[in-house]
Structures are given as structure tokens and as C-alpha cells.
Amino acid sequence: MPQSIHLAPAGPFSDAERDAVYRAIHTRRDVRSQFQPDPIAPEVLERLLLAAHHAPSVGFMQPWNFLLLTDPATKARVKHAFSRANDEAAAMFGDARKALYSAIKLEGITDAPVNLCITCDRERGGPVVLGRTHNRDTDLYSTVCAVQNLWLAARAEGIGVGWVSIFNDADLREILGLPEHVVPVAYLCLGHVRELHSEPELQQRGWAQRMPLEELIFHNSWGQRESGESSDLSEIPSL
């Protein structure tokens, strides 16, 4: 007998609720330097993890795990691994970019009171998962949705988040004791902040600028503008 399906009312949020959602999206920042030493209250951290756990996942596989790191010795090992990888990364850029790269602080590992590694268990759900039958990587995409949920919830709570991505995979795996089938998707630094950059720091520092939305929208097939004709992107005005 099929199970009964319960539905909840749908519809737009109130103006204030909608504005709060968009405010969280547009004012979210990658935090590296603004962390305060104050601990995150357990109930706040639980709300953030619960928000992450309510992310969408293909086949409802929920492939994520949350590794909370507060031990100073462990964080010191992670920072050392970052520093080695960061030196390697700096050498990959030309002289002009290398100087700017080296001037940008790219982590807050020991500054933030909490580090969090969100992982993807690639065996979660077994060998055949609804919706993943033709795209093996949807478990990774689902885990990134959990990262974004947590990040937006953190913005609403006044908690800063910084994503540290510059690691050699083997180093992070060894430090955290990850099984072979578990992928470290995001290494995050979390902590209270009193101020945030008014726009992305990399934009303020001249590393890159936000692309105009119009350049990124196609209709019905790649490169097709609304008129149905392929357009020269240089002809599209910036926002």
C-alpha cells in the first residue's frame, strides 16, 4: 500500500522574510581576517549544522559528514599543510599576480575558534542511488549544497565563514584520518565577526571583478541570446 503523502502550503514569503533571504545571499563573504576569539555557542553551531543537514541531496542520499575541529594541535597541523600548498600555489602565478597573491591572507585556520570539514561519503546509499544512476558526481554536488546552506545560515547568525581550499589532498586526509571513500569537500573556518567586507575581498583587492549577469545567460542552447542569435559578448553592456 502506498504511503500517504503530506503537503504543506506553498507561496511567497512576506516582504521582510524575502528581503532577509536575499540580504544573506548578497552580503555573505569569505572571511579570512575578521575572526573574533569568542566561542560559538553550542546552540548556534547546532542550528548551522542542522541547516547544512537540510540541504537538498540527489536521491535523498545525504552524503555529508561534519568534522568539527577545535584542538589547537590539530589546527596547527592543518595550517602547516596549508602553508606548504600555498607556497606551491604562489609559484604557479606570474610575477605580477604572484605579488598580489602573496599579499592576500587566504585562511583563518588558527584564528577561528572552530574549523569544520564537510565531507562526502561516496558509498552513502549503496552502489545504486536514485538520481545518481547516470551522473556519479551528484553526491559531491549535493554536499556543496550543504556547504552553501551552512554559509547562508551563518550569515544570518552573525558568524563568519572562510573556505580554505589550498591543500594537498593526501595531507588533509592523513591529518583527519579520512577513509579512502570519503572526500573532503570543504574545509571551513567559523567564528564571530564584527565587520565584513562591503564586497568580496578579491574584488576589492583587484584580483577579479563580478561578471555582468547578462554575459552569463543563454536561451535554449549554448551561446544563444534571447533574440535567438549568437551575440558578441563584448557588445553587452556591464551592469
Q: Quick one: 105 and 182 in the same domain?
A: yes
Helix axes 95-103, 72-90, angle to 10 degrees: 160
pLDDT at 237: 40
Task: Give the residue numbers spanning the domain of 149.
Answer: 28-193
Residue 140 maps to a domain: yes
> Quick count: other Cβ atoms within 10 Å of Cβ 97?
12
Q: Quick one: 147 and 89 in the same domain?
A: yes
Residue 185 pLDDT > 70: yes
Q: What is the per-residue burial (b if ≥16 Cβ within 10 Å, else e) of 24-57?
A: beeebbbbbebbeeeebeeebbebbbebbeebeb
1-49 confidence digits (pLDDT tens): 568 899 999 999 999 999 999 999 999 999 999 999 999 999 999 999 9
212-235 confidence digits (pLDDT tens): 999 999 999 999 998 655 445 554
Q: Quick one: 85 and 175 in the same domain?
A: yes
Percentage of the chain exceeding pLDDT 70: 94
Q: Quick one: 134 and 67 in the same domain?
A: yes
Q: What is the CATH number of the domain that holds 105?
A: 3.40.109.10
The amino acid at residue 72 is P
Residue 95 pLDDT > 70: yes
